[in-house]
């Protein structure tokens, strides 16, 4: 008896995964637009919301690993839906909470967990299991580009909402948009997905212990730390940096939107190149280019042309702390340049041979 054909085809999974990434990353990319109005209304320094968003990034990474383990056990659809509910509650809470501690708990912990359950870790894993290996890199590049498209499309909407309503009501509208993630999770398997053929099943603990023994994991970890530092600092502080430099708020919003737009091209290109050239050299080149572009932003006089050129080519709490203590973002940007050099170098020694193949080679030599 033939099994019924599932409606969850690779293209359906890809389309719904892309929409989830668009909403999740699009909303997240606009948090920096709330930095100035929120700080002015509550009389906070920029360090308060900066710390909340830094904590959010830490929880995003930590709880993202937990969410991946829960998805393997209970199914990705359920976990992403739970993440969407946390996203809605977090945005509503962010609109009304008026004390630093509650903001840290809500914007940092709750929204960090929401992002961990609605972003790369789970969505890319589901897409990777549904597509043929030879097309996996391209499909994952498309899904990652969807997050950049969200930044490009939802940032202008967020700015319009803040200007036309106020920042409180803007967050409530964004909560309504986040609710659209819930029906999209129906396309993701509600039951735990099996491993790919020939891949040994592992528990979360076994996978973590194996990763901790692998030198390349630690090198990639610190490289991605730099990546997160760059992206988070820019999305949170670039709008304020732009207005501090005498440009209009619309210039900062446009720059972030352009980063999202051109990152679509870069992500798709990286997905295509990832199947054809050495991934570690590709990563190193990306970090090197970032360092050059950030240096251009720091050392050239800031005009709309320089700002947009930077946007097309391309540590949150630290940036806010440095601004509140020195009155300038220069220190944070200089740190970003140094971290770019560090990330470009630390990825070069990574061994790209899969662990399974290395094990077979070692057995053959024994």
Per-residue pLDDT, 83: 94
| 199 inside domain | no
Assess whether 157 and 33 both reside in one domain: yes
pLDDT at site 346: 64
Residue 201 lies in a domain: no
pLDDT of residue 101: 92
- Whole-model pTM: value is 0.71
Q: And the tokens for 332?
A: 């944070």
Give the end of a domain, one of 191, 220, 239: 191
Q: Is residue 363 included in any domain, yes or no?
A: no
What pLDDT does residue 121 have? 81
Query: Are the C-beta atoms of residues 125 and 116 closer than 8 Å to each other?
Result: no
User: Could you please report the per-residue DSSP string of 71-113?
Assistant: HHHH-HHHHHHHHHHHHHHHHHHHHH--SHHHHIIIIIIIHHH
Tell whether 170 and 298 lie within a shared domain: no
Query: Of 163, 191, 219, which residue sits at a domain end?
Result: 191
Assess whether 153 and 16 both reside in one domain. Answer: yes
Q: Which domain holds residue 305?
A: 209-352
- Domain membership of residue 313 (yes or no) is yes
Asked if the structure places residue 361 within a domain, the reply is no
Q: Which of 61, 72, 263 lies closest to 149, judged by CA?
A: 263
User: Is residue 125 in some structural domain?
Assistant: yes
Say if residue 186 is in the same domain as residue 215. no
Confirm whether 200 is domain-assigned: no
* Domain count of the fold of the chain: 2
Picking from 191, 219, 251, the residue at the C-terminal end of a domain is 191
Residues in contact with 73: Cβ distance below 8 Å, sequence separation at least 6, in sequence order: 192
Contact 333, 294 (CB under 8 A): yes
Same domain membership, residue 186 and residue 220: no
Through-space distance between the first and last CA atoms of the chain, rounded to whole angstroms:
47
Sequential pLDDT tens for the chain (366 residues)? 444 557 778 889 999 999 999 999 899 888 888 888 888 898 887 788 888 888 888 888 788 878 877 888 888 999 999 999 999 999 999 999 889 999 999 988 999 999 988 987 888 888 888 887 777 777 887 888 888 888 888 988 998 999 999 999 999 999 999 999 999 999 887 665 554 444 456 566 676 676 676 776 666 666 666 666 666 667 667 777 777 777 777 777 787 777 777 777 666 666 666 666 666 676 777 777 777 777 777 777 777 777 777 666 654 444 444 445 556 556 656 666 666 666 666 666 666 565 555 555 555 555
Q: How far apart are CA 176 and CA 25, in angstroms?
A: 15
Residue 325 neighbours by CB distance under 10 Å = 11
Say yes or no: 183 and 213 in one domain.
no
Mark whether 338 and 254 lie in a shared domain.
yes
Q: Looking at the domain assignment, is residue 198 inside a domain?
A: no
Which residue, 92, 99, 86, is CA-closest to 48?
A: 99
Do 172 and 219 lie in one domain? The reply is no
- List the CATH number of the domain containing 136: 1.20.1250.20
Confidence at residue 343, expressed as pLDDT on a 0 to 100 scale: 62
Distances (CA, A) of 341 to 162, 230, 263, 297, 317: 37, 12, 20, 16, 21
């Amino acid at each position: 008896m033939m099994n019924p054909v599932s409606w969850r085809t690779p293209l359906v999974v890809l389309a719904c995964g892309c929409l989830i990434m668009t909403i999740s990353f699009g909303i997240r990319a606009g948090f920096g637009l709330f930095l100035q109005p929120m700080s002015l209304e509550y009389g906070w320094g920029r360090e308060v919301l900066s710390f909340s968003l830094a904590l959010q990034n830490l929880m995003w990474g930590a709880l993202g690993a937990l969410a991946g383990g829960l998805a393997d056990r209970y199914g990705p659809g359920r976990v992403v839906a739970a993440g969407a509910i946390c996203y809605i509650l977090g945005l509503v809470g962010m609109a009304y909470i008026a004390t630093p501690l509650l903001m840290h708990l809500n914007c940092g912990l709750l929204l960090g967990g929401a992002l961990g359950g609605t972003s790369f870790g789970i969505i890319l894993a589901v897409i990777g299991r549904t597509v043929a290996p030879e097309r996996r890199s391209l499909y994952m590049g498309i899904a990652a580009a969807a997050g950049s498209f969200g930044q490009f499309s939802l940032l202008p909407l967020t700015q319009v909402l803040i200007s036309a309503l106020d920042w409180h009501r803007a967050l409530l509208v964004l909560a309504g948009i986040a609710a659209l993630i819930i029906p999209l999770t129906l396309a993701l398997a509600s039951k735990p997905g099996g491993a790919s053929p020939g891949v040994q099943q592992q528990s979360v603990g076994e996978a973590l212990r194996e990763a901790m023994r692998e030198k390349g994991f630690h090198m990639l970890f610190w490289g991605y730390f730099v990546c997160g530092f760059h992206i988070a600092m820019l999305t949170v502080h670039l709008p304020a940096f732009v207005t501090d430099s005498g440009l209009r708020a619309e210039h900062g919003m446009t720059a972030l939107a352009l980063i999202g737009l051109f990152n679509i091209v870069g992500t798709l290109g990286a997905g295509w190149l990832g199947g054809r050239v050495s991934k570690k050299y590709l990563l190193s080149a990306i970090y090197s280019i970032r360092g050059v572009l950030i240096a251009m932003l720091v050392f050239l006089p800031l005009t709309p042309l320089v700002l947009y050129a930077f946007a097309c080519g391309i540590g949150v709490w630290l940036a806010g702390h440095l601004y509140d203590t020195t009155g300038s973002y220069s220190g944070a940007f200089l740190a970003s340049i140094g971290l770019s050099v560090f990330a470009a170098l630390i990825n070069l020694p990574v061994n790209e041979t899969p662990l399974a193949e290395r094990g077979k080679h070692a057995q053959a030599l024994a």
